[in-house]
């Protein structure tokens, strides 16, 4: 692709006089630049890509798109094709779409946003679409799927260049559908610029990421951008949790959507669950829809998954599946990794790994465990992430203390912070509840072993916070750590002693 083609339609403030260049790739990270690359130098949240223009050129970049007049002048003076643009992230999306042949136009995109439930809902929706033989792209927190092939995910929502590259691979493999988790950061930072969303889903909004957004209203406004369209038209279909306190904000943002559907359990909704029956590994309910009523059965566990199923079903029907198809598909859907994932053992108690990392998610997890445990105990192990919203730490402690018989406070990705300080802030919340059966064990592996050895027949051990994650980050280093594997090892050791 030549220089003229790759900047076609991109709003530019100035274009250099250099001759055309043949573009072999688009990069925003100078370390990924190869001979023939176009380098998009943009100001980011933590660094400025314009600092690396010289490095990109030295690595073989043959063209520069930049939001800095100095970088533009530097590249132009070296005889390199250059364009000065006002917004780096928007330009990255636009030149990437040109380079990859606009794959966003070849797949129908479902975007899912919310504090909790994004990952599960995305997996369920992909499963429903796959159940009627539609090939899909899935981009989310746990992993990326490209027409059945599995790739690791670095971020919940990648930069636009990476999204478009995945879409291009998917389209080439025959995918016609895409399902994406869209984080509030990605919506606010416009990493999803110009992606045409066909069906948009809102799961819920509870406190998280206030270190970035500042207030709940700002957090909600970032989520609401999904329904307004980010550099693209508003979605055709909006699917909104009617039982959430921020539903009205999302409904208002979705005013230009052709179809607006609500879902819920407690109040009036277009997709409404009633006669809910919850058991471990089995959920059933009667679902009322605009297309008729049906009984839904699922292998998933808990009330929260009733909401996730309703959201996925509504989105799937927005994509044209029939009521019979979603009911049949829902019955066959497997549990999602790291979401109420059971670690098997022969000791007579349950060990569950879950991603719950907000006070609301932790409270919901404990309520579900309490329902399943009956007269037995709930043992909750949790920690709080470092370099994130500190105000939710005592709230998570209160959630654990209020609902659990035994609480173990440990580390969970402390990042640059002191794990002991984080634990003290969470512990303060536990103590407010009067729960005296609490211990602090900063070594997460030792804490998991303690929880396993504490359990008696019938108890439920909850290992919360990391779920599917395979590393733990401290002082800038991500070390291998898998809650499921560590719990399994602790269980084997106890079984050997039994």
DSSP calls for 455-481: --TT-EEEEES-TT--EEEETTEEEE-
Query: Binding site annotation covers 135?
Result: no
Query: Binding site annotation covers 30?
Result: yes
pLDDT score for 10: 96
pLDDT score for 153: 83
**In the chain, what are the helix, strand and coil shares in percent, each to the nearest 5?**
40, 25, 40
CA nearest neighbour of 238 among 261, 271, 222: 261
Query: Binding site annotation covers 120?
Result: yes
Listing from the earlier edge strand, what are the strands of the sheet with 292-298? 149-152, 143-146, 136-139, 177-181, 108-113, 197-202, 237-241, 259-264, 271-279, 282-289, 292-298
Query: Binding site annotation covers 127?
Result: no
Query: Binding site annotation covers 114?
Result: yes
R_g over Cα of the chain: 24
What's the pTM?
0.86
Query: Binding site annotation covers 414?
Result: yes
Query: Binding site annotation covers 156?
Result: yes
Query: Binding site annotation covers 189?
Result: yes
Domain with CATH 3.90.190.20 in the chain: 341-497
CA nearest neighbour of 112 among 207, 190, 178: 178
Query: Binding site annotation covers 231?
Result: no
Q: What does the alpha-carbon distance between residue 451 and residue 464 come to, in Å, rounded to a whole number?
A: 12
pLDDT score for 210: 65
Query: Binding site annotation covers 183?
Result: yes
User: What is the SS3 assignment for 98?
Assistant: helix
Interval 450-478: pLDDT, tens? 999 999 999 999 999 999 899 999 988 99
Domain with CATH 3.40.1390.10 in the chain: 3-99
pLDDT score for 281: 85
User: What does the longest C-alpha to C-alpha distance in the chain come to?
Assistant: 78
CA nearest neighbour of 179 among 157, 159, 194: 157
pLDDT score for 175: 98
pLDDT score for 120: 93
pLDDT score for 20: 74
Query: Binding site annotation covers 413?
Result: yes
User: What is the SS3 assignment for 166?
Assistant: helix
Query: Binding site annotation covers 115?
Result: yes
Domain with CATH 3.40.1190.10 in the chain: 103-332
pLDDT score for 279: 86
pLDDT score for 371: 87
Q: Which CATH code, of 3.40.50.720, 3.40.1190.10, 3.10.180.10, 3.50.50.60, is assigned to 103-332?
A: 3.40.1190.10
Helices (H), 229-358: 247-253, 303-318, 323-332
Query: Binding site annotation covers 117?
Result: yes
Query: Binding site annotation covers 415?
Result: yes
Query: Binding site annotation covers 289?
Result: no
Query: Binding site annotation covers 259?
Result: no
The CATH superfamily label for domain 341-497 reads Mur ligase, C-terminal domain (3.90.190.20)
Q: Which CATH code, of 3.40.1390.10, 3.30.2320.80, 3.90.1150.10, 1.10.1740.10, is assigned to 3-99?
A: 3.40.1390.10
Q: Which residues of the chain have pLDDT under 70?
A: 18-19, 208-213
């Amino acid at each position: 692709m030549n220089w003229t083609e790759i900047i076609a339609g991109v709003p530019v403030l100035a274009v250099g006089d250099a001759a055309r260049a043949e573009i072999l790739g688009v990069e925003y990270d100078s370390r990924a630049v190869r001979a023939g690359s176009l380098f998009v130098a943009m100001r980011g949240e933590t660094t400025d890509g314009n600092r690396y223009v010289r490095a990109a050129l030295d690595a073989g970049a043959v063209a520069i798109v930049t939001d800095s007049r100095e970088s533009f002048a530097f590249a132009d003076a070296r005889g390199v094709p250059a364009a000065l643009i006002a917004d780096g992230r928007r330009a990255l999306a636009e030149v990437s779409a040109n380079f990859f042949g606009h794959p966003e136009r070849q797949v129908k995109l479902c975007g899912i946003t919310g504090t909790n439930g994004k990952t599960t809902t995305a997996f369920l929706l992909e499963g429903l679409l796959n159940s009627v033989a539609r090939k899909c792209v899935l981009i989310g927190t746990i992993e990326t799927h490209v027409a059945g092939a599995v790739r690791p995910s670095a971020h919940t929502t990648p930069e636009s260049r990476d999204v478009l590259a995945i879409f291009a691979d998917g389209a080439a493999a025959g995918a016609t559908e895409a399902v994406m988790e869209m984080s509030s950061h990605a919506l606010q930072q416009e990493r999803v610029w110009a992606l045409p969303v066909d069906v948009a889903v809102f799961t819920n909004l509870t406190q998280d990421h206030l270190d970035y957004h500042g207030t709940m209203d700002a957090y909600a406004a970032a989520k609401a951008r999904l329904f307004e369209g980010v550099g693209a038209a508003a979605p055709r279909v909006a699917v909104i949790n009617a039982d959430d306190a921020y539903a009205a904000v999302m409904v208002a943002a979705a005013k230009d959507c052709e179809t607006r559907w609500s879902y819920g359990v407690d109040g009036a909704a277009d997709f409404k669950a009633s006669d809910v029956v919850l058991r471990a590994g089995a959920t059933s309910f009667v679902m009322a829809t605009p297309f008729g009523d049906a009984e839904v059965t699922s292998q998933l566990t808990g009330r929260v998954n009733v909401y996730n199923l309703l959201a996925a079903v509504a989105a799937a029907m927005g994509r044209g599946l029939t009521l019979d198809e979603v009911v049949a598909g829902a019955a066959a859907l497997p549990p999602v990794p790291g979401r109420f994932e059971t670690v098997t053992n022969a000791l007579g108690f349950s060990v569950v790994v879950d991603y719950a990392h907000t006070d609301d998610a932790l409270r919901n997890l404990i309520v579900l465990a309490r329902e399943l445990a009956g007269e037995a105990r709930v043992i909750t192990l949790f920690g709080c992430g470092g370099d994130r919203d500190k105000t939710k730490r005592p709230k998570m402690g209160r959630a654990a203390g209020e609902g659990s018989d035994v609480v173990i406070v440990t580390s969970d990705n402390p990042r640059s912070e002191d794990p002991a300080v984080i634990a003290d802030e969470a512990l303060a919340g536990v103590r407010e509840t009067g729960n005296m059966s609490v211990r602090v064990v900063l070594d997460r592996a030792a804490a998991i072993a303690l929880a396993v050895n504490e359990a008696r027949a019938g108890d439920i051990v909850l290992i919360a916070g990391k779920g599917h994650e395979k590393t733990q980050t401290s002082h800038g280093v991500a070390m291998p750590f898998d809650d499921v594997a560590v719990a399994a090892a602790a269980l084997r050791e106890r079984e050997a002693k039994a």
